[in-house]
Structure 1
Amino acid sequence: MSDTPSPPSTPLSGFDAPALQQHLASILASVPDAMIVTDEAGVILAFSRAAETLFGYTADEMMGQPVNRLMAGRDRTNHGKYIGNYLRTGERQIIGKGRVVIAARADGTLFPIDLKIGEALIAGHYVFTAFIRDLTDQQRSEMRMQEMQAELVHFSRLSAVGTMASALAHELNQPLTAVANYLEASRDLLDSPDPEMREILHEALTEAARQAVRAGEIVRKLRSYVSRGEVEARPVALEPLLADAIALSRLSREAADIPVKLEVDERIQRVLADPVQVQQVVINLIRNAIDALAGTGDARIVVRALIPVGGETGLVAIEVCDNGPGLSAEMKETIFKPFATTKSQGMGLGLSICQTIVEAHGGTILAISPPEGGICFRFTLRLEADTSEI
């Protein structure tokens, strides 16, 4: 009698192949989210009942069909290349991570989905399982919330502008009225033949100049107050902050099929920042990149955080790079100035606001043209270990 212990049984060890097939069929019929199984060539092997409802195809119609039939935009064109790149390099773009993409129904309508993909190696071949959730209602609600927030921000800005204009008019009224009165009096004195009027004329012009300087000081103080850009910076984890900014920037359908890769140096943990303001900078730079990539076939965006080489210590550099057409040398010189824009419908304030936020954090922002083409916007923040004042 052998003393060798028998291998432990597993919950499935008592099932034969037909029983497992029946179990898989029950899963496909009952799983609440759409589930699609494909081979490493992208051919559909299984199509759940929820997938039938979501896409408008029957399982019989989709069995043996390429899965990119359910995709839209660049994903439909480049899906085969994505799989090939993964099988060749092992680099994961979406497997195990999840992503918001645009899908296509049987009637041709496009809609946003949350896509998560798992993998299994069976008999030397990869099998991929996609779990799909319809985001149409969620995205509609989010967009409505964004519209409401934008309306509230717009209203608050109008209110602030109105209050500021009223205060400015009140403060400037007195010195400007005095200037007008003194100049009116000076004009009348010029017509007088009395030599004693010359001294009075001199005093009137001196007082007019003093009041004009006072009006200028009021304007300068107001400008200083508005552009001071004070921030409440605190230590925050950088990688989650950037990941959230990427997710927020991809809410629009135009952005959903453009891959955005995040690379963070493992040495970087926390930075000193106002997270809302820094996220706004990153979101604005990503959306600018998305606009620049319109019409680009193999569109790519990379957001990376790195330790600058040879620069000031205690800083982290954050880059948002795309492989679009880039910027002309002339545009690079003016891109951060208010009302400078490359967009036909743009106001040219986004990058100016980004610069104000970054500089208020004690950093700098600039545009770099990499040798491989495209454009990189790089800005700096202070690491948590750097305790210098912002």
Structure 2
Amino acid sequence: MGVADDEIDDLSAREHSLEQALLGSILATVPDALIVIDMKGQIISFSAAAQRMFQYAESDVLGENISMLMPSPDRERHDGYINHYLGTGEKRIIGIGRLTSARRRDGSVFPIELSVGEVHDQGKRLFTGFIRDLTERQQAETRVADLQAELAHASRVTAMGTLASALAHELNQPLTAIANYLEAGRDMLDSDQPVDRELLREAMAESAAQALRAGEIIRSLREFIKRGETMRQPEPLRGLLAEGTALAFIGADSRGIDMDISVDRRVDEVFVNRVQLQQVIINLVRNAVDAMANSPARILRLSAAPAEDGRVEVVVSDSGPGLDPDMSRTLFTPFTTTKASGMGVGLSICQTIVEGHGGRIWAEPSQWGGAAFHFTLDAADGA
């Protein structure tokens, strides 16, 4: 029996060694980073892909708190997330996955897709995190989007030409009639003969009627365009702000930025079109990051709180040089910009989207001397 037991033990040891080698090989080649932490948030495993992604050697991070790989506000709040789960059992991330941001060794922030799992090992709880860097995927999507945008632009130019031609044709008749009636009235006033007041009154009445007809044509066109609006639905505001900020950091110099997202507890969901609202967030955050390029302190704050009439007010503020007073009147006017390579349409797009949601957008100085852009949205429960 002793020999047999030794053979079984030896076989088990070889199988265990093979399993460890196979697991090590998988972890060394899998493209997604794998990080394992304990209940205290301390890193106990850091895969090769994680080392490449975060620019840390495994020896640099073992035993350190996972928050070192997070930007604010998750960095300061992560231990609270773990304690909340251990105390309540409420799974906010585990088994769900989320789009968020991570922080490299050099301080740069980049967007990631995070999937968290839980493992029980000899009475201990361990948490595994698979992390995918979205930068390359987003860059590929951006290239495709650029091509699509060029095609869409060509299509819009054609459509606008057709629309302008049709609009000119429709408006030509009432405008011509107005001009004819006004010229006739002028000729009557210039004549040496007594003015036929009844005829003059008729000419003025016809001019007014034709002007109203032109207005109806334009109003009908606006109603036709409005019917093409995209659908809106309840969306979690905190998630939208986090995802939009993460996407805005792609290709931007995010080193040294002190970033925080603060959403009032009374604010849960907003009634929006997800893609359009993220476009607003991306534009405002990128503007803030660009504005702070030469600032000694780079502070970026996104906040949201209840406003009047069932609305929510969102604020994106920075510590940049602030707004030029001369540009304050034309801030949201298309093709107005201070950037050397800018088109000057970003804020105009933001205004169009926000007003299309029934809200308004405006700018004020921030508490750090930079700019603070405010905009309002419908709360989902009040929409």
TM beyond 0.5? yes
Which residue of the other structure, out of 248, 251, 254, is the alignment partner of 2:252? 254
In structure 2, the residue matched to 1:380 is 376
In structure 2, the residue matched to 1:99 is 101
The answer to whether residue 328 in structure 2 is matched with residue 332 in structure 1 is: yes
Q: For 1:99-135, what per-residue CA distance to the aligned partner results, in whole angstroms no more than 9, with x for missing partners?
A: 367899xxxxx9x88598x9xxxxxxxxxx9987666
Runs of 5+ unmatched residues, structure 2: 1-12, 36-44, 62-66, 83-98, 117-127
**1: CA distance between counterparts of 2:306 and 2:191?**
74
8 Å contact from structure 2 (residues 364, 371) kept in 1: yes
Q: For 1:133-162, what per-residue CA distance to the aligned partner results, in whole angstroms no more than 9, with x for missing partners?
A: 666752442122211332243234324312
Counterpart amino acid of residue 353 in structure 1: I
Q: CA deviation at 1:171?
A: 0.9
Q: CA deviation at 1:169?
A: 1.0
In structure 2, the residue matched to 1:32 is 30
**2: CA distance between counterparts of 1:157 and 1:146?**
16
Q: For 1:9-46, what per-residue CA distance to the aligned partner results, in whole angstroms no more than 9, with x for missing partners?
A: xxxxxx9xxx9xx9799569835248799xxxxxxxx9
For the residue of structure 2 that corresponds to 1:290, the secondary structure is helix
Runs of 5+ unmatched residues, structure 1: 1-14, 38-45, 68-81, 105-109, 119-128
For the residue of structure 1 that corresponds to 2:362, the secondary structure is strand
In structure 2, the residue matched to 1:269 is 268
For the residue of structure 1 that corresponds to 2:252, the secondary structure is helix
Q: CA deviation at 1:366?
A: 1.9
**2: CA distance between counterparts of 1:159 and 1:103?**
49
Equivalence map 1:1-390=2 (5 Å) = 26=24, 30-33=28-31, 91=76, 99=101, 114=112, 137-179=136-178, 195=193, 202=200, 206=204, 209-210=207-208, 213-214=211-212, 217=215, 221=219, 225=223, 232-251=231-250, 253-254=251-252, 257=255, 260-308=259-307, 312-387=308-383
Counterpart amino acid of residue 277 in structure 1: Q
8 Å contact from structure 2 (residues 178, 211) kept in 1: no
CA RMSD of aligned residues (A): 5.2
**TM-score when normalising by structure 2:** 0.61
8 Å contact from structure 2 (residues 248, 282) kept in 1: yes
1:349–1:215 distance in 2 versus 1, CA, 3 Å: farther
For the residue of structure 2 that corresponds to 1:262, the secondary structure is strand
**2: CA distance between counterparts of 1:246 and 1:227?**
30
Q: CA deviation at 1:377?
A: 0.9
For the residue of structure 2 that corresponds to 1:162, the secondary structure is helix
8 Å contact from structure 2 (residues 175, 211) kept in 1: no
Identity, % of aligned positions: 39
Q: CA deviation at 1:170?
A: 0.8
1:85–1:175 distance in 2 versus 1, CA, 3 Å: closer
1:198–1:317 distance in 2 versus 1, CA, 3 Å: closer
Q: CA deviation at 1:268?
A: 1.8
1:255–1:151 distance in 2 versus 1, CA, 3 Å: farther
**1: CA distance between counterparts of 2:77 and 2:311?**
29
**TM-score when normalising by structure 1:** 0.60
Counterpart amino acid of residue 351 in structure 1: L
**2: CA distance between counterparts of 1:84 and 1:147?**
32
**2: CA distance between counterparts of 1:287 and 1:205?**
56
For the residue of structure 2 that corresponds to 1:91, the secondary structure is helix
1:47–1:138 distance in 2 versus 1, CA, 3 Å: same
1:191–1:305 distance in 2 versus 1, CA, 3 Å: closer
8 Å contact from structure 2 (residues 69, 103) kept in 1: no
**2: CA distance between counterparts of 1:84 and 1:149?**
35
8 Å contact from structure 1 (residues 36, 47) kept in 2: yes
8 Å contact from structure 1 (residues 101, 115) kept in 2: no
Q: For 1:245-266, what per-residue CA distance to the aligned partner results, in whole angstroms no more than 9, with x for missing partners?
A: 2233233x12554564322223
8 Å contact from structure 1 (residues 324, 374) kept in 2: yes
